C-alpha cells in the first residue's frame, strides 16, 4: 500500500492585479493611458488587459508595443512581467472616433492574469464614462 497518496498540485501564487489610468476625448480623438499594477504578494510573469470603447474608430488605432486589435472596438495588451508591489510599464492607445460622440464608455478588464489567483476580483473590470471635454477622466 502506498502511504503518500496522490500527488497534489501546488496552489497557484496569489497576486492582486489592477489597472489605473486616464482617458481623454479632444475633438474626434480619444487617448487612453493605463498602467498595470501588481499589489502582490506574488510576482506575475505576464498578464494582459482588454480595452473596449463604445464608439467605433475611423481607421487605424495607435497602440503601444505588445498590443493588438481583437475587434473593431477592442484591443488586448500584454503587461510584461509585473513585480509585486510595483507598477508596470504604461500602455497607450489612441483612437480617432468615427463620429463625434457625446460620450464614450471605456471598458478595461483583465484578459489573462498570468496563471495567478487574484484574491480581489473587484478591481479587475472597470467602466469609465468619458465626455468630450478635453479633460482627463481618471480610473
Residue closest to 125 by CA, chosen among 51, 69, 70: 51
Looking at every residue in the chain, the average pLDDT score rounds to 94
Cβ atoms < 10 Å from Cβ of 120: 12
**Residue carrying C-alpha cell 489592477:** 18
CATH code for the domain of 85? 2.60.40.1170
Overall domain count for the chain:
1
Give the C-alpha separation, 6 to 53, whole Å: 48
pLDDT value for 99: 86
3-state secondary structure of 58: strand
Residue 58 lies in a domain: yes
pLDDT value for 6: 66
Residue 76 lies in a domain: yes
Residue 31 lies in a domain: yes
Residue numbers in the chain where pLDDT is lower than 50: none
pLDDT value for 7: 66
Residue 30 lies in a domain: yes
Furthest-apart CA pair in the chain: how many Å?
74
The parent domain of residue 58 ranges over 15-116
Amino acid at each position: 500500500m502506498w502511504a503518500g497518496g496522490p500527488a497534489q498540485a501546488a496552489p497557484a501564487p496569489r497576486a492582486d492585479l489592477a489597472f489605473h489610468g486616464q482617458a481623454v476625448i479632444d475633438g474626434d480623438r480619444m487617448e487612453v493611458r493605463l498602467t498595470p499594477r501588481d499589489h502582490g504578494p506574488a510576482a506575475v510573469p505576464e498578464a494582459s488587459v482588454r480595452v473596449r470603447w463604445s464608439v467605433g474608430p475611423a481607421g487605424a488605432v495607435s497602440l503601444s508595443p505588445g498590443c493588438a486589435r481583437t475587434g473593431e472596438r477592442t484591443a488586448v495588451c500584454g503587461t510584461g512581467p509585473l513585480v509585486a508591489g510595483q507598477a508596470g510599464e504604461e500602455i497607450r492607445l489612441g483612437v480617432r472616433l468615427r463620429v463625434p460622440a457625446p460620450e464614450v464608455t471605456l471598458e478595461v478588464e483583465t484578459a489573462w492574469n498570468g496563471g495567478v489567483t487574484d484574491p480581489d476580483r473587484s478591481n479587475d473590470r472597470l467602466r469609465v464614462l468619458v465626455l468630450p471635454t478635453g479633460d482627463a477622466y481618471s480610473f
